[in-house]
């Protein structure tokens, strides 16, 4: 007689919806068999079932969604046991036990709830003796809760529900984090997390029936919203840590022809799960899907699974050498010397080279992946038998070839040096003649260097400031005029000055040596447009009677007149407030990508929704791109997340790519954006404050928190 034990697994999320009637209360003496019509017990709604399902060459026992065409397993009992044979019987005995092939007496009653929870009650249906929600597997269902130190484990594959190689834990520090199995719970091994530090040890992961997934602290306060809720009618949800180590939030329409759809996933990088390809394997991204490969000189241990990784295809003892070896970390090494050092070292199986640093490695190698952004080079020791068998050139021939190559190379280098020297002399001697031919076009960066960062002012006019500069290694003093005001008339004045002065040559007239038309720092043009937009929104919020919330601030609703002045348009979704009213309840309005988070939470909306939309528009103007662009690399696809990452890492230049901008002005604008798009409406500044930050010259804008650091309880 074997008693069914329910083991700890991972979880997923669902919303129950009635489809058909089923038996919910299971009485002692009831039994199930793998084959036939009596293979499972249905919940009252008919959506969930507990019983036998097919696995491998036998059967397993668990909970699955039976009310849809695609049967989906959400919990498995004894998941690491071998499959059960077809002649086994599962009996609920009179003494309250689930056993195989024999019966016992008992007084307990067990119930499958409509939420997908399998519950064992006492005889009066008041005390819960055991429930499957306390021992989740790889799936998390609505109304389920993951508390401190509870762990979920992935399955080995989509069809094998035994324990896999990834796990999700609700840590004591309040973070929900993911790690490979068999590693410590430390940052070194973690590959994804959600949470906010300092929330205590009672943080829990919660899942509502509308698909809303979030973290609560011990006081019941929302600290992180992972997904937002959606209508529950006709939909079910689940959260699952899939075999590839990605945590995915799924939804399914109860229509029989529907399929599961991924509504959220983390991490976004499909190669982020550490150990996905096993030891001595590495992960590459192929069309946004993870693909595993073995290192050179290695082959897969199991052709059906990557869990066991790869093994050498040659005997490494043949590489033994009696030569002395160097240390395991070498600094200032060259690429080829790093490889040579590993070849001479019998204990070295591979070497990692990056920026002059060489690190020797022993097998096995773990957590391998290939990234375009990583400049590291892996040098793997392989056997000669695994290389191509090309004919070997005799040593004498090799030597002769190398001498010929050396002579040709030296000759070319000498010739190039002669040409370079002669060209330099000619340019130096006749550079005065070149001046007279035509003005030279300079870049903004070149003029910034010439003037030492526009340091010394020697004059100013109505349209700009004149700075002292020096060219040709300081031999020639020049004056550089910089146009700071950017209206259309200033642009025309610049073009006129270049045309007129560029054609004149007289000893008593200023000679135009060159000009820069990078755009007179085009960021300032966009900032001027942003100020116009902010003034329009401020009028609606504070100077207009009645007060108006525009509700649809986006680039399509901003028009430019002939003088480059921005004007707000399209008030079809606007909301008028009463004189004593500061907030209102209304259905969601606006355009996806520009809508403030509170619209999705059924919270009252205020003028701060326009502040959020303005922040997104300003960010798009700064970066000259859309807020969402999936044609870009994954980390850059969502502009607001990419902007905060660049700000946090001090790499704001990546936002404007090759455009030369005033770094201080760029930082100030990004700070304004990050304050505007904060998740908590009360933390966003008013439009009056936003305009003040845009117009003030030397105002010190505080460092904003993460846009998603503060979340409001729903």
The model's confidence at residue 713, banded by pLDDT at 50, 70 and 90, is very low
pLDDT, position 401: 43
Q: What is the CATH number of the domain that holds 458?
A: 3.30.200.20
**Which residues define the annotated binding site?**
481
Using a pLDDT cut of 90, give the percent of the chain over it.
16
What integer pLDDT is reported at residue 607 of this predicted model?
93
Does some domain include residue 575? Answer: yes
86-90, 344-348, 497-501, 692-696: which has the minimum mean pLDDT? 497-501
Q: Given this model, what pLDDT does residue 107 score?
A: 32
Q: Which of 138, 244, 345, 552 is the catalytic position?
A: 552
In this predicted structure, what is the pLDDT of residue 463? 66
- 268-278: average pLDDT: 91
CA dist., res. 383 & res. 322, Å (int): 18
Point out the domain boundary residue: 518, 553, 569: 518
Residue 20 pLDDT > 50, yes or no?
no
pLDDT of residue 381 exceeding 50, the answer is: yes
- Euclidean distance between CA atoms 358 and 48, whole angstroms: 56
**Token duo for residue 84:** 């059960």
| Of 109-113, 286-290, 309-313, 607-611, minimum mean pLDDT range | 109-113
Residue 546: predicted pLDDT:
84
Check if 679 is active-site: no
Q: Are residues 149 and 253 in the same domain?
A: yes
Residue 371 belongs to domain spanning:
281-386
Same domain, 578 and 504: no
The CA-based diameter of the chain, rounded to the nearest angstrom, is 116
- E strands in 234-323: 235-241, 247-253, 261-266, 281-286, 289-294, 298-302, 305-312
More confident residue, 397 or 186: 186
What's the CA gap between 357 and 359, in Å, rounded?
7
180 pLDDT higher than 90: yes
Task: Kindly state whether residue 702 falls inside one of the protein's structural domains.
Answer: no
Query: Final residue of a domain: which of 242, 266, 290?
Result: 266
User: What does each C-alpha distance from 446 to 54, 127, 495, 563 come to in angstroms?
Assistant: 71, 79, 20, 30
Q: What is the mean pLDDT of the chain?
A: 78
DSSP 188-214: TT--EEE--TTS-S--EEEE-TTS-EE
> Which of the two residues, 467 and 99, has the higher pLDDT score?
467
pLDDT at 24: 59
Mean pLDDT of 620-646: 87
Classify residue 680: in a domain, yes or no. yes
Indicate if the pLDDT at residue 524 is higher than 50: yes
> 230-261: per-residue pLDDT in tens?
776 778 899 999 999 999 999 988 876 788 89
The model's confidence at residue 262, banded by pLDDT at 50, 70 and 90, is very high
pLDDT band, residue 660 (cuts 50/70/90): low
> How would residue 553 be classed by pLDDT, with cut points 50, 70 and 90?
very high
Domain boundary among 485, 518, 551: 518
Long-range Cβ pairs for the range 221-226 (8 Å, 24+) = 221/713, 222/711, 222/712, 222/713, 222/714, 223/174, 223/195, 223/196, 223/199, 223/711, 224/194, 224/195, 224/196, 224/708, 224/711, 225/597, 225/601, 225/711, 225/714, 226/194, 226/264, 226/266
DSSP state of 273: S
In the 8-state DSSP scheme, what is residue 598? G
State the pLDDT at residue 477.
84
Residue 342 in any domain: the answer is yes
Same domain, 258 and 307: no
Residues 155 and 254 in one domain: yes
* Better-predicted residue by pLDDT, 552 or 16: 552
Q: Which tokens go with 611?
A: 């502040």
411 dihedral zone (left: phi>0; alpha: psi -120 to 50; beta): alpha
Residues 103-112 pLDDT 10s:
333 333 343 4
User: What is the pTM assigned to this prediction?
Assistant: 0.48
Nearest 10 degrees: Cα torsion 216, 76, 263, 144: -20
Would you list which residues are annotated within the binding site for ATP?
A: 481
Distances (CA, A) of 365 to 16, 142, 149, 338, 491: 45, 39, 29, 18, 60
Token pair 């994804």: residue: 192
The most confident of the ranges 44-48, 51-55, 424-428 is 51-55
Grade residue 283 by pLDDT with cuts at 50, 70 and 90: very high
| Mean pLDDT of the region 676-704 | 85
| CB half-sphere exposure, 284, CA atoms < 13 A | 7
Please tell me whether residues 403 and 509 are part of one structural domain.
no
Q: Specify the pLDDT at position 256.
A: 64
Say if residue 235 is in the same domain as residue 338: no
Interatomic CA distance for residues 90 and 61, integer angstroms: 9
Identify whether residues 152 and 55 lie together within a single domain: yes
Number of domains in the chain: 5
Chain centroid to Cα 674, Å, comes to 18
Indicate left, alpha or beta for 101 from its phi (over 0: left) and psi (-120 to 50: alpha): left
For residue 310, the model assigns a pLDDT of: 92
What is the predicted pLDDT for the residue at 398? 41
Number of H helices, E strands in the chain: 11, 42
pLDDT at 325 over 60: no
DSSP 3-state of 689:
helix
Amino acid 687: pLDDT: 93
Burial category of 344 from C-beta neighbours within 10 Å (exposed 0-12, middle 13-18, buried 19 and up) = middle
Domain containing residue 617: CATH number: 1.10.510.10
Same domain? For 82 and 197 the reply is yes
Are 90 and 106 found together in one domain?
yes
**In terms of domains, do 240 and 331 share one?**
no
Answer yes or no: is 271 within a domain: no
Query: Is position 276 within any domain?
Result: no
The residue-averaged pLDDT of 576-581 equals 84
pLDDT at 434: 44
Please state the rounded mean pLDDT for residues 300-319: 80
Q: Residue holding tokens 């304050």?
A: 675
Cis peptide before 245 (omega within 30 of 0): no
> Residue 226: which H helix or E strand, with range?
strand 222-227
Name the region of 415 (left: φ>0; alpha: ψ -120 to 50; beta: rest).
alpha
pLDDT given at position 393? 36
Q: What is the pLDDT of residue 178?
A: 94
* CA proximity to 627, closest of 636, 638, 641: 638
- Report the pLDDT value the prediction gives residue 111, as an integer from 0 to 100: 38
* Whole-Å CA distances, 147 to 176, 247, 527: 10, 17, 48
Q: Are residues 411 and 451 in the same domain?
A: no
- Classify residue 19 by burial, with Cβ atoms within 10 Å: 0-12, 13-18, 19+: middle
CA distance 8 to 28: 25
Taking Cα atoms as reference points, which of 136, 376, 106 lies closest to residue 238? 136
The answer to whether residue 711 sits within a structural domain is: no
Q: Is it the case that residue 172 has pLDDT exceeding 70?
A: yes
Q: What local confidence, expressed as pLDDT, does residue 192 receive?
A: 92
Look at residue 192 and tell me if it is in a domain: yes
Per-residue model confidence (pLDDT) at position 538: 92
CATH of residue 112's domain is 2.90.10.10
Report pLDDT for 582.
84
Classified as helix, coil or strand, 26 is: strand
Nearest Cα to 540, choosing from 516, 499, 570?
570
| Residues 511, 586 share a domain | no
Residue 179 in this model has a pLDDT that exceeds 90: yes
The yes-or-no verdict on residue 372 having pLDDT over 60 is: yes
Which of 148-162, 261-275, 384-398, 670-684 shows the lowest mean pLDDT across its residues? 384-398
Lowest average pLDDT, out of 235-244, 327-336, 363-372, 446-455, goes to 327-336
Q: What is the pLDDT of residue 444?
A: 73
Per-residue pLDDT tens digits for 451-475: 888 888 888 876 678 888 888 777 7
- The structure tokens listed for 686 are 């008013």
């Amino acid at each position: 007689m074997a008693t069914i034990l329910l083991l700890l697994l991972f979880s997923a999320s669902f919303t129950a919806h009635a489809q058909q009637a089923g038996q919910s209360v299971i009485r002692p003496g009831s039994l199930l068999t793998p084959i036939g019509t009596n293979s499972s017990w249905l919940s009252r709604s008919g959506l969930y079932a507990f019983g036998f399902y097919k696995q491998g060459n036998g059967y397993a026992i668990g909970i699955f969604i039976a009310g849809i065409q695609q049967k989906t397993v959400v919990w498995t009992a004894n998941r690491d046991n071998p499959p059960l044979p077809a002649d086994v019987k599962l009996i609920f005995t009179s003494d309250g036990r689930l056993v195989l092939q024999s019966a016992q007496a008992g007084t307990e009653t067990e119930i499958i709830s409509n939420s997908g929870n399998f519950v064992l009650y006492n005889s009066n249906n008041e005390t819960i003796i055991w429930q499957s929600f306390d021992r989740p597997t790889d799936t998390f269902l609505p109304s389920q809760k993951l508390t401190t130190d509870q762990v979920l484990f992935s399955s080995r594959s989509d069809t094998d529900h035994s324990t896999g190689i990834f796990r999700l834990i609700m840590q004591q520090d309040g973070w929900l984090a993911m790690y490979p199995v068999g590693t410590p719970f430390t940052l070194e091994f973690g590959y994804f997390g959600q949470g906010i530090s300092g929330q205590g040890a009672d943080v829990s992961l919660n899942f509502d029936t509308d698909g809303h997934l979030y973290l609560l602290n011990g006081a019941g306060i929302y600290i992180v919203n992972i997904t937002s809720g959606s209508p529950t009618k006709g939909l079910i949800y689940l959260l699952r840590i899939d075999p590839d180590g990605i945590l995915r939030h799924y939804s399914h329409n109860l229509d029989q022809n529907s399929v599961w759809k991924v509504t959220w996933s983390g991490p976004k990088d499909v190669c982020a799960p550490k150990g996905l390809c096993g030891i001595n394997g590495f992960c590459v991204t192929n069309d946004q899907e993870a693909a595993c490969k073995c290192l050179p000189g290695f082959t897969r241990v199991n052709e059906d699974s990557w869990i066991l990784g790869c093994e050498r295809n040659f005997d490494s003892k043949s590489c033994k050498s009696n030569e002395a070896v160097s240390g395991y970390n070498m600094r200032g090494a060259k690429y080829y010397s790093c490889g040579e050092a590993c070849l001479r070292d019998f204990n070295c199986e591979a070497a990692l080279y990056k920026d002059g640093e060489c690190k020797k490695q022993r097998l096995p190698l773990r957590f391998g992946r290939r990234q375009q952004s990583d400049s590291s080079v892996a040098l793997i020791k392989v056997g000669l038998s695994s290389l191509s068998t090309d004919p070997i050139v005799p040593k004498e021939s090799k030597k002769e070839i190398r001498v010929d190559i050396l002579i040709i190379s030296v000759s070319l280098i000498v010739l190039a040096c002669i040409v370079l020297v002669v060209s330099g002399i000619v340019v130096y001697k006749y550079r005065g003649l070149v001046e007279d031919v035509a003005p030279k076009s300079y870049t903004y960066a070149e003029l910034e260097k010439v003037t030492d960062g526009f340091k010394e002012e020697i004059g100013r006019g109505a349209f700009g400031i004149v700075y002292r500069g020096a060219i040709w290694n300081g031999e020639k003093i020049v004056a550089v005029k910089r146009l700071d005001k950017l209206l259309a008339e200033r642009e025309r004045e610049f073009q006129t000055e270049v045309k007129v002065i560029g054609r004149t040559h007289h000893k008593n007239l200023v000679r135009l040596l060159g000009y820069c038309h990078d755009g007179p720092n085009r960021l300032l043009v966009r900032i001027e447009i942003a100020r116009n937009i902010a003034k329009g929104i401020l009028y609606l919020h504070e100077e207009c009677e009645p007060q108006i919330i525009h509700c649809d601030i986006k680039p399509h609703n901003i028009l430019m007149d002939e003088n480059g002045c921005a004007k707000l348009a399209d008030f079809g979704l606007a909301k008028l407030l009463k004189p004593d009213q500061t907030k209102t309840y209304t259905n969601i309005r606006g355009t996806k990508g520009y809508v403030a988070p509170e619209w999705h939470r059924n919270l009252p909306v205020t003028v701060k929704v326009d502040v959020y939309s303005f922040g997104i528009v300003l960010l798009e103007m700064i970066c000259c791109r859309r807020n969402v662009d999936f044609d870009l690399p994954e980390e850059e696809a969502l502009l607001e997340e990419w902007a905060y990452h660049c700000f946090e890492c001090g790499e704001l230049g990546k936002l404007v790519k090759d455009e030369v901008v005033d770094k201080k002005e760029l930082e100030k604008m990004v700070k304004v954006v990050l304050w505007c798009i904060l998740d908590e409406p009360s933390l966003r500044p008013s439009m009056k404050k936003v305009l003040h930050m845009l117009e003030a010259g030397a105002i010190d804008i505080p460092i904003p928190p993460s846009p998603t650091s503060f979340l409001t309880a729903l």
